[in-house]
Chain A
Amino acid sequence: MASKIQDALSSAAALAKGMGVTLKEMMSPTITEDYPDVPPKFQERYRGVHVLQRDENGLEKCVACFLCSANCPSDCIYIEAAENTDSLRISGGERYARIYNIDYSRCIFCGYCVEACPTDAITHGHGFEIASYDTSTLIWRKEQLLAPASPRETQTAINPPPGVRSPV
Chain B
Amino acid sequence: MADSVNLTIDGKAVQAAPGTLVIDAAKKVGIEIPAFCYWEGLTLQAACRMCLVEVERMPKLMTACTLTVAEGMVVRTETPLVAEARKSMLEFVLTNHPLDCPVCDKGGECELQDMTFRYGAGEGRFDEMKVHVDEKQWSPVVYFDAPRCILCYRCVRICDEGMGVDALGVIYRGVVSEIAPNKEDHLQCDECGMCIDICPVGALTSGMYRYRTRPWEMEHTGTICAHCSNGCKTTLGTRNGQIIRGNNRDKSGINGEFLCIKGRYAFDFNSHPERLQSPLMRIGGKLEPVSWSRAIGEVARRFTEIRERGGRFGVVGSNRTSNEENYYLQKFARQGLGTNNIDHRRTGDVPALIDALAGRTGVLATVKDVYTAKASLVIGSDLAQQHPLLAYQLRANWRHHQSHTYTVTRGPVREDKYSVHGVRVEPGAELGALESLRDQLKAEPELVILFGDAIKGEAVRRLVEFGDSLGIPVKYICLVDYSNSRGAVDMGLLPHLGPGYQGVENPGMSLPEMLAAEDLDAFWVVGANPLEHNKLAADRAFVVVHDLFLTETAERADVVFPAASAYEKNGTVTNVCGEVQHLRSAVQTMGVKTDLEILGLLSKEMRINLGMWTPESVLREIRQTVRGYNVALPVIAAGGAAQSLPLNGRVTLDSRPELIQSAGDTLFTSGTLGRYSKTLLSVLEYPGVLYGEAAEPEADRR
Contacts and interface: CB of A to CB of B under 8 A. Distances in A.
Contacts of B107: 65
Most buried by A among B211, B216, B217: B211
Given A81-B211, A82-B211, A83-B211, A93 B103 contact: yes
Contact of B211 (A69, A94, A119): A94
B210 A67 contact: no
Interface string A62-82: 011111011000000000111
B102 interface: yes
Nearest to B145: A94
Contacts of B213: 66, 80-81
A109 B473 CA distance: 71
Contacts of A94: 100, 103, 135, 211
A67 B104 CA distance: 12
A70 B216 contact: yes
A65 B214 contact: yes
B102 A67 contact: yes
A51 to B, nearest CB: 19
B620 interface: no
A118 interface: yes
Most buried by B among A66, A80, A119: A66
A95 B103 contact: yes
The interface size bin for chain B is 10 to 19
Contact of B210 (A64, A65, A70, A83): A83
Contacts of A119: 102
Interface in B81-128: 100-103, 107
Contact of A63 (B103, B135, B210, B217): B103
Interface in A5-56: none
Given A65-B107, A66-B217, A93 B102 contact: yes
B103 A65 contact: yes
The interface size bin for chain A is 10 to 19
A66 B214 contact: yes
Interface in B200-253: 210-214, 216-217
Contacts of A63: 102-103
A82 B107 CA distance: 16
Interface in A82-129: 82-83, 93-95, 118-119
Interface majority SS (helix, strand, loop, mixed), chain B: loop
A52 B107 CA distance: 22
Contacts of B217: 66, 69
Nearest to A95: B211
A116 B135 CA distance: 27
A95 B103 CA distance: 7
Contacts of A83: 210-211
A157 to B, nearest CB: 17
Interface in B16-68: none
B115 to A, nearest CB: 19
Contacts of B102: 63, 65, 67, 93, 118-119
Most buried by B among A94, A118, A119: A94
Nearest to B107: A65
B121 to A, nearest CB: 18
Nearest to A118: B102
A80 B244 CA distance: 12
B343 to A, nearest CB: 45
Nearest to A117: B102
A58 B331 CA distance: 66
A115 to B, nearest CB: 14
A152 to B, nearest CB: 22
Nearest to A91: B103
Contacts of B216: 66, 70
Contacts of A93: 100, 102-103
Contacts of B135: 94
Contacts of B212: 81-82
A70 B217 CA distance: 8
A89 to B, nearest CB: 14
B238 to A, nearest CB: 14
A80 B212 CA distance: 7
A82 B211 CA distance: 6
A99 B107 CA distance: 20
Contacts of A82: 211-212
A117 B400 CA distance: 47
Interface string B126-148: 00000000010000000000000
A55 to B, nearest CB: 14
B695 to A, nearest CB: 41
Contacts of B103: 63-65, 93-95
Interface string B535-561: 000000000000000000000000000
Given A80-B213, A81-B211, A81-B212, 13 more contacts: A63-B102, A64-B103, A65-B101, A65-B103, A66-B216, A66-B217, A69-B217, A81-B213, A83-B211, A94-B103, A95-B103, A95-B211, A119-B102
14 contacts: A65-B101, A66-B213, A66-B214, A67-B102, A70-B216, A81-B211, A82-B212, A83-B210, A93-B100, A93-B102, A94-B100, A94-B103, A94-B135, A118-B102
Closest 6 A-B residue pairs measured CB to CB? A65-B102, A95-B211, A66-B214, A83-B211, A118-B102, A94-B103
